């Protein structure tokens, strides 16, 4: 053993620990699941953002990814299936000072929650949506979901998916999102940077993170383990910042276009609402009272 290793102090803690509820460990995720990697990136983004963490809230829906809110050392809300975005919308409107992050899975956000997603993007609601896309409904057994590519074998498509899937980044752009990016759990630096960027960006922001589910997706599709997933991402990903989102559809084994695709500014919902109310009611309009979270 080298002396350098022996020099590491025994009481050294992992730098992401302050961002996690360590009393809730061990977490429920399987070995080599990608969700933990995204959480690590998020913790690093929170740290580098220098935001007051008493003013950051995280909202999840249901699913393996939905567990993230429970582990984050923030004001956390684990809401019902598909309802993270409307919950986050209410939170933001009642306390505009909060930075509200929605952290959920592809099934939660785009099947039962799909309607909420497109309307929050249309309104340019000032919330940040991070979607961990493992291309399946993992928690319930690996069924076909709206983001599962054709030809994939799933619990409900034993002969291969034949229905077309959503291109999530294209949908986000078309619905009006201010910021749209896609990375994989192989691109940890870019992902942490994108997360930090959206924490400082106004409007509806969307980050899709392709993340392996070795237990239910990889295994059924003979795609190996977590390490094989990283090799696959490395091999097939192509960074194309600014690429038209219409060219970013995913297939079972084809190219994965990653990068920042959209970064634009337009008034958000609260700005438009406040403007109209001031125009119409003048001094009679009382802006929402800001409730400050207690310290600690
Ligand atoms: C109203 C309702 N319908 C269905 C379910 C069952 N359910 C729980 S998690 C889940 C799938 C979640 O998939 P995804 O959002 O992709 O998360 P993952 O587990 O893949 O991270 C489903 C269908 C539920 N809890 N509530
Ligand atoms: S079932 Fe899949 S997504 Fe869920 S914790 Fe296990 S590996 Fe992760
Ligand atoms: Mg999923």
Per-residue model confidence as pLDDT tens digits over 146-200: 999 999 999 999 999 999 999 999 999 999 999 999 999 999 999 999 999 999 9
pLDDT (0 to 100) of residue 11 = 74
What is the whole-number distance in angstroms between the Cα of residue 82 and the centre of ligand 1? 8
pLDDT (0 to 100) of residue 286 = 82
CA-wise closest residue to 128 among 103, 163, 165: 103
pLDDT (0 to 100) of residue 8 = 67
CA quadruple 262, 121, 185, 232: dihedral positive or negative?
negative
The span from the CA of 123 to the CA of 177, in Å, is 9
For the chain, the structural domain boundaries read 14-284
pTM of the full predicted structure?
A: 0.95
Report the atom number in ligand 2 closest to the C-alpha of 134.
3
Report the atom number in ligand 2 closest to the C-alpha of 211.
3
Pairing between strand 75-78 and 127-133? unpaired
Ligand 2, atom 3: closest residue by C-alpha: 213
The secondary structure of residue 68, as a DSSP letter, is: H
Give the tokens for residue 228: 């094989």
Distance from chain centroid for Cα 225: 23
Q: State which of 28, 134, 136, 217 you would mutate to test the pocket of ligand 2, scoring each by most atoms of that ligand within 8 A of its C-beta.
A: 134
Residue ranges for the chain with pLDDT beneath 70: 1-6, 8, 288-296
Ligand 1, atom 1: closest residue by C-alpha: 81
Which protein residues are within 6 Å of ligand 1, measured from CB? 62-65, 81, 104-108, 132, 134, 136-140, 145
pLDDT (0 to 100) of residue 3 = 54
The domain covering 14-284 belongs, at the CATH homologous superfamily level, to Thiamin diphosphate (ThDP)-binding fold, Pyr/PP domains (3.40.50.970)
Q: Is the CB of 63 under 6 A from ligand 2?
A: no
Q: Is the CB of 243 under 6 A from ligand 2?
A: no
Q: Is the CB of 216 under 6 A from ligand 2?
A: yes
Q: Is the CB of 214 under 6 A from ligand 2?
A: yes
What is the whole-number distance in angstroms between the Cα of residue 280 and the centre of ligand 1? 43
pLDDT (0 to 100) of residue 1 = 46
């Amino acid at each position: 053993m080298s002396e350098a290793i022996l020099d590491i102090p025994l009481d050294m803690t992992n730098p992401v620990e302050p961002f996690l509820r360590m009393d809730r460990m061990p977490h429920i995720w399987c070995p080599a699941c990608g969700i933990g990697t995204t959480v690590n990136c998020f913790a690093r983004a929170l740290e580098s953002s220098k935001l007051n963490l008493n003013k950051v809230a995280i909202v999840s829906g249901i699913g393996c990814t939905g567990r993230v809110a429970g582990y984050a050392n923030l004001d956390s809300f684990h809401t019902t299936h598909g309802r993270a975005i409307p919950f986050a919308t209410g939170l933001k409107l009642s306390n505009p000072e909060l930075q509200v992050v929605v952290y959920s899975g592809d099934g939660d956000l785009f099947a039962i929650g799909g309607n909420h997603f497109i309307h929050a993007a249309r309104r340019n609601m000032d919330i940040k949506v991070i979607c961990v896309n493992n291309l399946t409904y993992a928690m319930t057994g690996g069924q076909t979901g709206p983001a599962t590519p054709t030809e994939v074998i799933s619990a409900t498509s034993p002969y291969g998916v034949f229905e077309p899937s959503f291109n999530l980044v294209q949908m986000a752009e078309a619905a009006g999102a201010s910021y749209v990016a896609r990375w994989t759990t192989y691109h940890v630096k870019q992902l942490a940077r994108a997360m930090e960027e959206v924490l400082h960006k106004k409007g509806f922001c969307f980050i899709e993170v392709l993340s392996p589910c070795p237990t239910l997706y990889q295994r059924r599709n003979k795609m190996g383990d977590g390490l094989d997933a990283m090799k696959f991402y490395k091999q097939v990903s192509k960074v194309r910042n600014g690429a038209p989102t219409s060219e970013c559809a995913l297939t079972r084994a084809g190219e994965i276009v990653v990068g920042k695709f959209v970064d634009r500014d337009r008034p958000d919902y609260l700005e438009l609402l406040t403007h109209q109310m001031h125009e119409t009611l003048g001094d009679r309009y009382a802006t929402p009272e800001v409730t400050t979270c207690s310290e600690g």
